[in-house]
Amino acid sequence: MTIENILMPQLGESVTEGTIEKWLVKPGDKVNKYDPLAEVNTDKVNAEIPSSFSGTIKELIAAEGETLAVGAVVCTIEIEGAAATEATPKEEAPAAPEAPVKTAAAPKREKGAASGRFSPAVLRMSQEHGIDLALVEGSGRDGRITRKDLQAIIDSGEIPTAAPVEETVQEVAAPAPTPATPQAPPTPQAAPKAEVPVAAGDIEIPVTGVRRAIANNMLKSKHEAPHAWMTIEVDVTNLVSYRDSLKTEFKQKEGFNLTYFAFFVKAVAQALKEFPMMNSMWAGDKIIQKKDINLSIAVATEDSLFVPVIKHADEKTIKGIGREIQELATKVRSGKLKSEDMQGGTFTVNNTGSFGSIQSMGIINHPQAAILQVESIVKRPMILDGGMIAPRDMVNLCLSLDHRVLDGLVCGQFMKRVKEILENISAENTSIY
């Protein structure tokens, strides 16, 4: 028999850690390769950890509620092998005997230090709130400290901190010996936070993993990519008329709504095929022009924003794009979106018009080079050829671009082409199938 480690997998682009929400197995359970072992929550998506082997679960290393970095061991599994060696997973070498140090401060630091390992999330929370981990008693496996332990301390308002330096100096007569066993990194004093006064009736909302991921990605995009902007005005009167003539029959036949957004996504995909430079990414010493046209679309819930991807959008019909938009939105709102649903995006189209917005400047979805905001369609009086004034359905398309990758010329040509496609949609020359 051999013992193999199951590691925290990479569950998405830019995902660096995951939290074990629930174990689906226990020690002694027999599993097959690819069977789900645990439910995991990351900054971006809920997923399952599959088994890499067929065998018997030996030990659950991570506790429920514990956050581990990608590549960390979450459990061990015993598998049948040619050698009958009982491979113990990297047992710690026996520590050198500690010289007895009799100080009054020593007993106070035995709670959390016994575990010896802290996840990145636990270390981050302890630093943010000034918690001395050596004074925390963990509820996880083998006394490990979890995020839930720290949250309970934060909620109680009783933050354990290390004894003042003056007291320690008075209690220790001789210079402190170097400890034989490595301890957790000393927790620095919490960095001063933004001083926001909290008055009676104010509500403090904890930052969720998803919200933190959004913040980090947006900050990275704004810091790294020099943003520039461009807006064009499009007359979509014919598009509105065509879609409205089809929507009732389409809903009865297909079972979902034919939205304006599907027409916009199709137009963008077609224009990207004609102007492939828009479908590029910055890669430091080179620019990568992507072959596949995979359009990211923003889908919001009450407290989060997800960006699922329509793969090969240029190969899909308007009906196919509309169905995929509806399916991805349903997955997001029901919590069933998978990590693969959000990977591989090359350009983002955002339906800001659904909220009534008429002009906005989006932040580019890193590492893509551009994002297009489709604003609200509004009826306005326009001067037509010949000087006549007539009500027309108008929409603004707002492009944010990474000026390291894209210049005004190609962006202007791309936007002009999107405008042409949309203004020429009609029953005579456009099929939704």
pLDDT, tens digit, 9 for 90 and up, residues 136-189: 877 776 677 877 777 888 877 777 765 444 433 333 344 444 444 444 444 444
- Are 246 and 426 in contact by the 8 Å Cβ rule? The answer is no
User: How high is the pLDDT of residue 433?
Assistant: 92
Q: Comparing 15 with 197, which gets the higher pLDDT?
A: 197
- CA separation for the pair 81, 83 (Å, rounded): 5
The H or E element that residue 348 is part of is strand 347-350
H helices of 285-358, where? 318-334
Among 79, 105, 133, residue at a domain's last position:
79
Q: Does pLDDT of 41 surpass 70?
A: yes
Residue ranges making up the domain that contains 318: 213-423
User: How high is the pLDDT of residue 193?
Assistant: 55
Which of 121-130, 318-327, 371-380 comes out lowest in average pLDDT? 121-130
Mean pLDDT in residue range 202-225: 82
Q: Comparing 108 with 408, which gets the higher pLDDT?
A: 408
Is residue 290 one of the residues assigned to a domain?
yes
pLDDT, tens digit, 9 for 90 and up, residues 62-109: 998 888 888 899 999 998 764 434 444 444 444 444 444 444 444 444
Count of the separate structural domains present in the chain: 2
User: How high is the pLDDT of residue 213?
Assistant: 75
- Are 227 and 220 in contact by the 8 Å Cβ rule? The answer is no
pLDDT, tens digit, 9 for 90 and up, residues 228-286: 999 999 999 999 999 999 999 999 999 999 999 999 999 999 999 999 999 999 998 99
Q: Comparing 340 with 406, which gets the higher pLDDT?
A: 406
User: How high is the pLDDT of residue 12?
Assistant: 67
User: How high is the pLDDT of residue 111?
Assistant: 52
Beta partners for residue 300, in sequence order = 305
pLDDT, tens digit, 9 for 90 and up, residues 414-428: 999 999 999 999 999
Among 55, 79, 103, residue at a domain's last position:
79
Among 79, 105, 122, residue at a domain's last position:
79
User: How high is the pLDDT of residue 13?
Assistant: 62
- Are 263 and 239 in contact by the 8 Å Cβ rule? The answer is yes
Give yes or no: residues 221 and 74 share one domain.
no
User: How high is the pLDDT of residue 175?
Assistant: 47
Backbone angles phi, psi at 109, to 5 degrees: -115, 40
Give yes or no: residues 74 and 217 share one domain.
no
User: How high is the pLDDT of residue 171?
Assistant: 39
- Kindly indicate the confidence band of residue 131, based on its pLDDT and cuts at 50, 70 and 90: confident
- Kindly indicate the confidence band of residue 410, based on its pLDDT and cuts at 50, 70 and 90: very high
- Kindly indicate the confidence band of residue 120, based on its pLDDT and cuts at 50, 70 and 90: low
Is residue 356 one of the residues assigned to a domain?
yes
> Tokens 């520590």 — which residue?
95
Which residues are catalytic, by number?
A: 403, 407
**Two structure tokens written together for 393:** 């359905």
Is residue 326 one of the residues assigned to a domain?
yes
- CA separation for the pair 267, 417 (Å, rounded): 9
Helices (H) and strands (E) in the chain, counts: 8, 19
User: How high is the pLDDT of residue 403?
Assistant: 96
Give DSSP secondary structure letters for 84-133: -----S-PPPPPPPPPP---SSGGGG-TTTTT----HHHHHHHHHHT--G
CATH code, domain with 255: 3.30.559.10
Is residue 341 one of the residues assigned to a domain?
yes
Is residue 19 one of the residues assigned to a domain?
yes
Is residue 376 one of the residues assigned to a domain?
yes
User: How high is the pLDDT of residue 42?
Assistant: 74
CATH code, domain with 34: 2.40.50.100
Q: Does pLDDT of 10 surpass 60?
A: yes
Is residue 154 one of the residues assigned to a domain?
no
* End-to-end Cα separation, the chain, in angstroms: 57
Give DSSP secondary structure letters for 383-395: E-TTS-EEEEEEE
pLDDT, tens digit, 9 for 90 and up, residues 340-394: 898 999 999 999 999 899 999 999 999 999 999 999 999 999 998 888 999 999 9
Is residue 428 one of the residues assigned to a domain?
no
